[in-house]
């Protein structure tokens, strides 16, 4: 009973610490693996000694195997085949030529600098071939970069994991069996990949059929059917040929994800939650089992080995694999910098350390220590600096400009015109053919289609555009369109015109959608104002002194329905105004002001009627009423 309680306590501590690390990382917007490593080491024998993973015995290997299967399946499920088509050549090179370059370069560095025997040096290099979606994907969620670069990094992380793990097994077999025949080694690699790929493809197709046609199964139970299915596929592949199960889970995820299954969103959410739990527990357990003394015992040569892997081998890898890719220098430099190692390297290294020790081969603990040193350095250096590097290279997607506007009406045409006047690309999507001429008269790209069609959004350029805004006359439709755009393309800014409390269901992407302009905005009313020439286009800058009075004056006009903010310009960047905006000193506001005077009265006063609004400073806004300046 005492032993079982110790195991229960170890699992409970691992789960609590792992989820706690995830929460802190989410709050601080840094890769979660940073805190998972810290917490694991602090809880392990070299820290507080509260967690002893060795108590799990063979159970640790089982947990590692099943959790890794879920992690890789979820990575395959989330791969966007449409996006992979754009980088297919580079991605193919990264998962074929790339591992070979890393194997040779890493092995030479570990032998000459780390002073490892050739066999152990190449085993280390095989273990660090992989990057890992469990590190790259959370990193890219916080560091928004160019979509091509993000797709390439995510695709590499998912697809190279099984390749690297199988490559490491082939190298280990060569060491344990004393056979160095390259033909046998290569055939073993190809056989494992083929068996795993075949089983995964068949299993993924079968799971998609269950999802599409087994209507008697509830959505919640379908998620569990998929979980049981992927573990079944993993076990079957492992039974037929050892270490082919990882490839089976990745391919099953890719096939299922590309099958357009119903309720796919629920499945992705369920598998995403399982992945977070699996990664959290595994990293805590593996880090707690790490000996800090073994890392320091490696010496300076091992540190130089990791630095060569980062600053020499990785750049050679990227240069060779993206030679004719069309990627620019900044994109390639970012790919060179971001290659953090993750859970697959850690878990396989831990298992190999045990196997080598059992066979009486020296180097098991040193291999594990060097792999963890690689994980620690790459995660801390690359993970924490990726955002700064992306900004420095100017490939952060938050720097992306231009807009895709859904709904063609006088207000959206004005917004599009203002984007074009700033030199940004803009396109309008609408299902009404009568609006095409209005857009073309303003020389604005127009797509006659539904914005629910991802191919149309792709053609319009949403993959590289900065802002998506849905502003049709139906608020609920706008909210749904914004949700789909966020799910399919995840642009930096997703906006929609919708009521204060939208009736659309609240999902994970709700937080990604900003409410454009004002909650009380009546598009029909302002479109009528624009059509009848009863508005002025104004600009004002908030400056001290009198900032509070300016803000109060603007808010009073907004509440009266007389003024609608369109854009807020801050620090040289201009974005569409959103309802949650907190205006600051120095902000420049571009707005529409309702002009209630009849057209005839305007003409009598000498004003010229023009259908094209010009930006001007308006006395009605610039002159703050004396009542606001008088203290109470």
Q: Is residue 491 very low, low, confident or very high in pLDDT (cuts 50, 70, 90)?
A: confident
* Average pLDDT of the segment spanning 476-505: 80
What is the arithmetic mean of pLDDT over 594-599?
76
Reported as a single tens digit per residue, the pLDDT across 545-575 is: 778 888 889 989 998 889 999 999 987 788 8
Query: How high is the pLDDT of residue 178?
Result: 64
CB atoms within 10 A of CB 217: 14
Angle between helices 59-77 and 219-240 (to 10 degrees): 120
| Rg over CA atoms, the chain | 29
Average pLDDT over residues 469-494: 89
**Does position 422 have pLDDT exceeding 90, yes or no?**
no
Give Cβ neighbours of residue 198 (< 8 Å, ≥ 6 apart).
none
Q: Peptide bond preceding 545: is omega within 30 degrees of 0, i.e. cis?
A: yes
Angstrom distance (rounded) from CA 480 to CA 503? 10
Task: Assess whether pLDDT exceeds 70 at residue 510.
Answer: no
Closest CA to 521 of 576, 467, 446: 576
pLDDT, average across residues 476-481 = 91
Does residue 429 contact residue 482 with C-beta atoms inside 8 Å?
no
Confidence of residue 625 (pLDDT cuts 50, 70, 90): confident
d(CA 302, CA 307): 9
Provide the pLDDT for residue 161: 80
Other CB atoms within a 10 A radius of the CB of residue 630 amount to 7
Q: Output the pLDDT for position 566.
A: 94
Q: How many other CB atoms sit within 10 Å of the CB of residue 243?
A: 23
Residue 233: both structure tokens together: 């596929």
Of 241-250, 300-309, 352-361, 504-513, give the lowest mean pLDDT range. Answer: 504-513
Sign of CA dihedral 277, 280, 281, 282: positive
Share of the chain above pLDDT 70, in %: 92
Residue 605: what pLDDT?
54
523 or 554: which leads in pLDDT: 554
Query: What is the predicted pLDDT for the residue at 504?
Result: 44
pLDDT of residue 301: 95
**Which residue intervals of 289-407 are DSSP H helices?**
292-296, 300-308, 314-321, 329-337, 343-358, 364-378, 384-393
For 521-556, give one letter per residue: b (16+ CB within 10 A) or e. Answer: bebeebbebbeeebbbbbbbebeeeeeeebbebbee
pLDDT at residue 616 above 50? yes
What length is written for the chain?
A: 632
252-296 residue pLDDT tens:
998 998 887 776 777 878 888 888 898 899 889 989 988 888 999
Residues of 144-183 as b/e, b for ≥16 C-beta within 10 angstroms?
bbbbbbbbbbbbbbbbbbbbbbbbbbbbbbbbeeeeeeee
| Residue 340 predicted with pLDDT over 60 | yes
As a whole-number percent, the residues of the chain with pLDDT over 90 amount to 39
Q: In what order do the strands lie in the sheet with 426-430?
A: 445-448, 426-430, 403-406, 467-470, 493-496, 513-515
Q: Give the per-residue pLDDT at 503.
A: 47
Given a cut of 60, is residue 44 above it in pLDDT?
Answer: yes
Q: What is the mean pLDDT of residues 312-329?
A: 92
3 vs 385, higher pLDDT: 385
**Model confidence at 507: pLDDT above 70:** no
Residues 403, 418 contacting (CB under 8 angstroms): no
505 — pLDDT class (breaks 50, 70, 90): very low
CA-to-CA distance for 336 and 56, rounded, in angstroms? Answer: 38
**Which of 92-101, 179-188, 597-606 is least confident?**
597-606
Q: Taking residues 479-507, report their average pLDDT.
A: 77
354: Cβ contacts below 8 Å, ≥ 6 apart: 61, 364
Calculate mean pLDDT across residues 244-249. 88
- What is the arithmetic mean of pLDDT over 353-371? 85
| Predicted pLDDT of residue 458 | 78
> What is the average pLDDT score of the chain?
85
């Amino acid at each position: 009973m005492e032993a079982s309680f110790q195991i229960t306590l170890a699992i409970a501590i691992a789960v609590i610490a792992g989820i706690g690390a995830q929460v802190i990382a989410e709050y601080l917007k840094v890769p979660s693996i940073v805190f998972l490593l810290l917490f694991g080491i602090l809880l392990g024998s070299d820290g507080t000694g509260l967690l002893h993973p060795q108590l799990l015995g063979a159970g640790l290997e089982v947990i590692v195997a099943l959790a890794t299967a879920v992690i890789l399946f979820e990575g395959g499920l989330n791969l966007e085949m449409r996006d992979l088509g754009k980088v297919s050549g580079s991605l193919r090179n990264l998962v074929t030529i790339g591992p070979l370059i890393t194997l040779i370069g890493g092995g030479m560095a570990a032998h000459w600098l780390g002073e490892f025997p050739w066999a152990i040096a190449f085993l280390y290099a095989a273990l660090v071939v992989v990057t890992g979606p469990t590190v790259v994907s959370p990193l890219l969620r916080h560091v928004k970069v160019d979509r091509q670069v993000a797709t390439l990094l995510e695709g590499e992380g998912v697809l190279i994991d099984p390749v690297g793990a199988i490559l490491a097994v082939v190298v280990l077999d060569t060491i344990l069996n004393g056979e160095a025949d390259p033909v046998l080694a290569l055939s073993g690699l190809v056989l494992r990949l083929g068996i795993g790929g075949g089983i995964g493809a068949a299993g993924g197709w079968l799971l998609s059929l269950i999802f599409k046609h087994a209507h008697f199964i509830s959505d919640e139970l379908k998620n569990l059917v998929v979980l049981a299915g992927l573990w079944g596929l993993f076990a079957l592949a492992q039974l037929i040929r050892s270490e082919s199960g990882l490839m089976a889970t990745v391919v099953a995820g890719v096939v299922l994800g590309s099958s357009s299954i119903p309720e796919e969103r629920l499945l992705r959410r369920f598998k995403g939650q399982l992945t977070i739990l699996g990664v959290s527990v595994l990293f805590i357990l593996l880090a707690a089992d790490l000996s800090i003394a073994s890392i320091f015992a490696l010496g300076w040569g091992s540190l130089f080995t990791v630095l060569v892997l980062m600053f020499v081998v990785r750049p050679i890898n990227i240069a060779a694999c993206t030679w004719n890719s069309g990627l620019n220098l900044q994109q390639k430099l970012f790919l060179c910098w971001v290659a953090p190692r993750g859970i697959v390297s850690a878990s396989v290294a831990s298992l190999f350390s045990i196997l080598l020790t059992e066979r009486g081969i020296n180097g098991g603990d040193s291999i594990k220590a060097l792999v963890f040193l690689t994980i620690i350095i790459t995660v801390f250096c690359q993970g924490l600096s990726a955002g700064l590097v992306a900004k420095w290279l100017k490939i952060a997607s938050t720097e992306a400009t231009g807009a895709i506007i859904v709904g063609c009406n006088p207000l959206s045409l004005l917004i599009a015109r203002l984007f074009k006047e700033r030199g940004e690309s803009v396109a309008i999507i609408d299902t009404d053919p009568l609006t095409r001429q209005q857009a073309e008269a303003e020389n604005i790209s127009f797509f006659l289609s539904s914005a629910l069609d991802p191919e149309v959004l792709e053609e319009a350029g949403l993959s590289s555009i900065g802002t998506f805004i849905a502003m049709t006359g139906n608020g609920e439709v706008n909210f749904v369109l914004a949700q789909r755009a966020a799910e399919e393309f995840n642009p930096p800014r997703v906006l929609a015109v919708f009521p204060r409390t939208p009736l659309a269901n609240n999902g994970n992407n709700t937080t990604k959608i900003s409410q454009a302009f004002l909650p009380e905005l009546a598009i029909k009313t302002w479109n009528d104002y624009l059509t009848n020439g009863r508005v002025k286009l104004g600009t004002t800058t908030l400056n001290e002194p009198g900032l509070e009075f300016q803000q109060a004056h603007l808010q009073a006009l907004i509440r009266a329905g007389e003024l609608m903010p369109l854009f807020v310009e801050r620090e040289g960047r201009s974005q569409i105004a959103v309802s949650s905006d907190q205006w600051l000193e120095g902000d420049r506001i571009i707005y529409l002001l309702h002009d209630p005077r009849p057209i005839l009265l305007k003409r009598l006063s000498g004003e010229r009627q023009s259908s094209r609004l010009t930006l001007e400073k308006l006395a009605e806004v610039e002159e703050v009423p004396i009542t606001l300046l008088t203290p109470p």
